[in-house]
Amino acid sequence: MSPPASAPRPGISARTAIAAIFTLNGVALGTWGARIPAIQDHLDVGPGGLAVALAGLAAGALIAMPAAGRLASRRGSATVVRLAVVALGLSMILPATMPAIGLVAAATFLMGLANGSLDVAMNAQGVEVERAVRRPILSSLHAGFSFGGLIGAGAGALAAAAGVGALPNFLAIGATVAVAGFVRSRSLVADGPAPQSAEETATAATSRGRWYLRGLAFCCLFAEGAALDWSAVHLRDIGATAAVAALAYAAFSVAMASGRMTGDRLSERWGPVALARRGGALATAAMAISLVAGLPAVGLVAYLTLGAGLSVVIPLIFRAAATGADAGPALAGVTTTGYLGLLSGPPLIGAVAALTSVPTALLLVVAATAAVAFGAGALRPPGRTAATAATPLPDTTTTARAA
């Protein structure tokens, strides 16, 4: 018998739950980033020693992502989310308790395993919930992650200003993430069947299409990593004060979070190809104008615009990657390649800057965002033509089941 018309659709509570998971992930990483100086003080090491201690985070994530994709395909993304969010909350406490660089590196490696697994699984679950609610939501979920990062960083800064040590700060946030994440994960949905159309499944599974998506993810996160590590340096290099330079990444982050709040509506209106192409073109134009102008005010606006332009692209890429029978491993491959872009961007720009200049090196960002604009056709939904790509895909799942 059909449920009453007034009964809530099963995906609604799951949407709230996965939004909470994304936000908790952002809070955890934002808190971690804000308290890294406290970890450095605890270890009494310089930048080189700190880099060794923190390298485990990246290594753990890169190892975990492919494995998490395979596990999500076998056991369901909801199960992996539940395990990973609890592991992240618990593991973020460990670095503040370790007395030596090697032990901190081991602790951050565990944290990276948890965070990499959660990154893949929560995006796969986000796509499942999209199908359950029959509308795009992935961009708003990423907005939750961004705002969570701002909340975590702000709370960490306040804790540092109040003289609260890293360990009690991590204990409070880690316990919150683990408990709240476990509770909310109980409302997630079970993974539905692959798309019913043989044409959709075949198109989505082509290795050529997936490699294009990997390239888009690499370029997008390459630019994000550059903004993280080089935006303030760039503005200082062209004459900005320290205070103005410090605003560059803040402007980028706020624009990124805000842009993702509108990304789902724009995706419905324009379709993924047009949205990514316009976002990439906007980012390219802003950075190119900034590098030519060489003015701090123009540079600040450029990073704001870069964040807005790129904000919607990664959710679109992840959604496209998660289409097909092998969604978990495919999404893991795209996520891993994107993460490589995030990690490789800053040192590559640094190497070019050492040989030339910072503005010259940032032409790599212009090239990366231009590649996003030109390669946006890879985001066209399976079985769609350019004329129909803006029409939302029909729901292809059965009734969502509680995970």
Q: What is the pTM of this model?
A: 0.82
Is there a shared CATH topology between the 10-185 domain and the 198-379 domain?
yes
- Residue-level pLDDT at 150: 87
Q: How confident is the model at residue 205 (pLDDT cuts 50, 70, 90)?
A: very low
Chain segment 133-168, per-residue pLDDT in tens: 888 899 999 999 989 988 988 888 898 889 999 999
81-110 average pLDDT score = 94
Domain boundaries 198-379, corresponding CATH code: 1.20.1250.20
Per domain, the residue ranges of the chain are 10-185, 198-379
Report the CATH superfamily, name and number, of domain 10-185. Answer: MFS general substrate transporter like domains (1.20.1250.20)
Report d(CA 290, CA 228) in Å as an integer.
17
- Residue-level pLDDT at 42: 83
Is the pLDDT at 4 greater than 60? The verdict is no
Which of 199, 149, 197, 210 is closest to 332 using CA atoms? Answer: 210
